[in-house]
A = this chain, B = another copy of it.
Amino acid sequence: MITAFRKTAETFAAGAKALAQQYFVSPEVFAEEQDRIFSNQWVLVGHQSQLAEAGDYFVAEVASESLIIVRDKGGEVHGFYNVCRHRGTRLREDRNGHLSAIQCPYHAWTYGLDGRLIGAPHMDQVPGFAKADYSLHAANLALWEGFIFVNLEDASTQRGGYMSLEKWFAPLAGKFSHWNLPKLRAAKRIEYDVKANWKLMCENYSECYHCPGVHPMLSKVSPYDSAENDLTEGPFLGGFMKITKGAGLTMSGKACALPVGKIENLQEVFYYSIFPNMLLSLHPEYVMVHQLWPQSPERTLILCDWFFHPDAFNRSDFKPKDAIEFWDMTNRQDWHVCELSQQGIASRAYEPGPYSARESIPAAWDEYYLRQIS
């Protein structure tokens, strides 16, 4: 079956070309993406392990909006706009922490962890004022495999495109159950500020045609031409690549932790892009997840987390740096060529060039993307 899928993709790629210049440099296209994609589709903001206890929170930036992602006393996770209902003040400045309630630093209006206004000094003197009318504004929020997604789409102005997270991920039901994703815990986050359009990183992630020149170390342990893709069209794209026998995707070449779950074949690594902003890299003993946050047509913030089995952390064979350093190096190699592409694409001499047969997934990614914004 996998082979059959791959052929389809390669057929599609024949004749396919890279995206036109406007998609990488135009502020209008960027605004449309922020509106149609990042403000109206499910986007990854984190993992439930970041909110172990009631009152734990972190702040996420989605389409220029600051959201407080917080676990309430009943265990439910919410996403609140980080904006006081009184005079609009930003409520939380720090990127994460622990709270018993959400109090505005300006005039001390106070909200419960479920967003209800529970304190507003002197407002009882204002005729007609009712606390119930001034709960924090909330974004749609749901979990998939332990990952937290939000969707800023306003229910009152839905364009007919809204679907629940469960329905959105239905095609992937059960696919990743071996990796124990809901249980995992992150050992490290690295933040990258990349001077390139976010789509260049999606395209870059989706092919290994560039690996021989860009990633000499990765190419040694995972042959660039070993890719077998099983998801070849739509919002979820990717497949697996082989890991050379006796090698591993770490600096030392050895496993750096116990397996994350019941992994059948330890010589495979799976790479999937989850449209629009999640890159999910499933290794036998760790899972790497990239979040992509477009800041402008020419700039993207990337958060990269490395997840391990919770039991791995206390064992003597736990060497997370071995994996983190390997991918930090590889990430930076990728961002560098993406930045070079951004520079060249801005030229009046740029014309979309032909994709090779080894770039069928970038071609499929482009094709799905184009359907979102036109």
Contacts A81-B349, A349-B83; A343 near B121 (Cβ below 8 A): no
CA distance A138 to B282 in the complex (A): 44
Structural contact, B347 and A65, CB atoms closer than 8 A: yes
Question: Does residue A129 face the partner (Cβ distance < 8 Å to B)?
Answer: yes
Question: Does residue A123 face the partner (Cβ distance < 8 Å to B)?
Answer: yes
- List residues of A (1-26) whose CB comes within 8 Å of B's CBs: 14-15, 18, 21
In the complex, which residue of chain B has the Cβ closest to the Cβ of A103? B213
Chain A 339-363 interface mask (CB, 8 Å, partner B; 1/0)? 0110111111111111111100000
Chain B residues, Cβ within 8 Å of A356? 107, 121-123, 125-126
Chain B residues, Cβ within 8 Å of A214? 105-106
A340 to nearest B CB, angstroms? 4
Structural contact, A90 and B340, CB atoms closer than 8 A: yes
Structural contact, B122 and A88, CB atoms closer than 8 A: no
Question: Does residue A212 face the partner (Cβ distance < 8 Å to B)?
Answer: yes
Structural contact, B353 and A137, CB atoms closer than 8 A: no
CA distance A50 to B93 in the complex (A): 40
CA distance A125 to B86 in the complex (A): 63
Structural contact, B213 and A357, CB atoms closer than 8 A: no
Question: Does residue A209 face the partner (Cβ distance < 8 Å to B)?
Answer: yes
Contacts A14-B126, A125-B357, A356-B126; A213 near B347 (Cβ below 8 A): no
Since A65-B348, A122-B357, A123-B354 are in contact, a sample of 20 more A-B pairs with Cβ atoms closer than 8 Å, ordered by chain A residue number, is A18-B86, A18-B87, A18-B88, A66-B347, A81-B347, A82-B344, A83-B345, A83-B349, A84-B353, A86-B354, A89-B340, A89-B344, A107-B356, A121-B356, A122-B356, A123-B356, A126-B355, A126-B356, A126-B357, A137-B349
- Using a CB–CB cutoff of 8 Å, the interface residues on chain A facing chain B are 14-15, 18, 21, 64-66, 81-91, 93, 105-108, 121-123, 125-129, 134, 137, 152, 203, 209-210, 212-214, 336-337, 340-341, 343-358
